[in-house]
Chains A and B, each alone.
Chain A
Amino acid sequence: MNQSESSNEELQPIADIDPLIHAPTRLKIMAYLSIVESADFTFLMNQTGLTRGNLSVNLRKLEDAGYVSIKKEFVDRIPRTLIRLTDEGRQAIQSYRENMQLVLNELLGE
């Protein structure tokens, strides 16, 4: 019983990892957005190396989760899709980093 409880405790950081962010494509997007205030669709596409369709689908998933906000605007009559992390998204990526650090520490026995 005690052993199982302690095992559950050890595995808790893994269970706490947000699967939505853990997917490599979305992690890339979240990582880039976390280091800037906002970026447009073209910039994210260039930096992440994702295709238009792939980026669009994953951004929608992140938007549905409330992690990013997507705003369309016109600059000099050219449409620009401005993407930024919401407060919830910033919190989520921060928690993800902390949990991953815990998991790695566990694995490395630190």
Chain B
Amino acid sequence: MSQDQDFKKLQQRTYASFHQDGLIDMIIGWAIVGFGINMALDNSAFLFLGWLPIVFYVPIKNRVTVPRIGYVKFSSSNSLLIGIVLAILLVLLLGIFILLIVGPHLIPAQLSEWFSEYYLLLFGSLVGLGFAGTALVTGISRFYAYAVMLVLIIAAGIWLNIPDPIYVLTAGLLILVVGITHMVRFLRKHPLTNEAGVNESE
């Protein structure tokens, strides 16, 4: 049992090590910023722009991270677990979205009102759960902080009557800044040397 825990810890440390570059944080932060700009300007092009960097995730990882700390492919069972967690959350988010659109006809008026007032808190909580679930599986502990921060910022925004896009943008920018900070620290800690690029065993 304790050996299993040790191996689990080792696996989580390896995950965290591979994601110490902050690239994933930058992409998530940028997506939330895109969502916030979309809300502010009511222009869905920004929603698309927010998710666009996902396309560049693997090429950037291969160009920036792999030459510095090497390449690793994690076992498919863990990737599947993360996929399941995220798929459940996506289904829940879609469910809420559909309820918001057709809700007034399907759910009691009181619940519908609650949804329209606190839908962002609900969205934020689900995204926060996604962060916490991913942190639990991968051991990337800063994702726990994101989960708490997201819910707190949205709750504070609603409580202080701040316009929705402002606190969504704030949350996205904070994650983006943390990502950039991690990237800068990573680049300083692992400078690209001639030797690092050579990946030969002999």
Write out the residue numbers on chain B whose beta carbons fall within 8 Å of the beta carbon of A70: 201
Q: Say yes or no: is A107 at the interface (Cβ < 8 Å to chain B).
A: no
Roughly how many angstroms separate A40 CA and B71 CA in the complex, as a whole number? 5
Roughly how many angstroms separate A36 CA and B17 CA in the complex, as a whole number? 13
Chain A positions 67-110 with a Cβ under 8 Å from a chain B Cβ: 70, 72, 75-76, 78-82, 97, 100-101
Chain B positions 186-202 with a Cβ under 8 Å from a chain A Cβ: 196-202
B197 touches A78 (CB 8 A): yes
CB < 8 Å neighbour of B17 from A38, A47, A52, A100: A47
A79 touches B3 (CB 8 A): no
Interface size on A, residues (CB 8 A): 32
Give the secondary structure class of B's interface.
helix
CB < 8 Å neighbour of B199 from A32, A79, A97: A79
B3 touches A37 (CB 8 A): no
Write out the residue numbers on chain A whose beta carbons fall within 8 Å of the beta carbon of B72: 36, 38-40, 43
Q: What class of interface size applies to chain B in its complex with A?
A: 20 to 34
Chain A positions 35-50 with a Cβ under 8 Å from a chain B Cβ: 35-47
Asked whether A41 and B200 contact (CB < 8 A) given A32-B14, A35-B75, the answer is yes
Roughly how many angstroms separate A101 CA and B62 CA in the complex, as a whole number? 39
* 5 closest residue pairs by CB, A with B: A43-B70, A42-B70, A35-B11, A40-B71, A39-B72
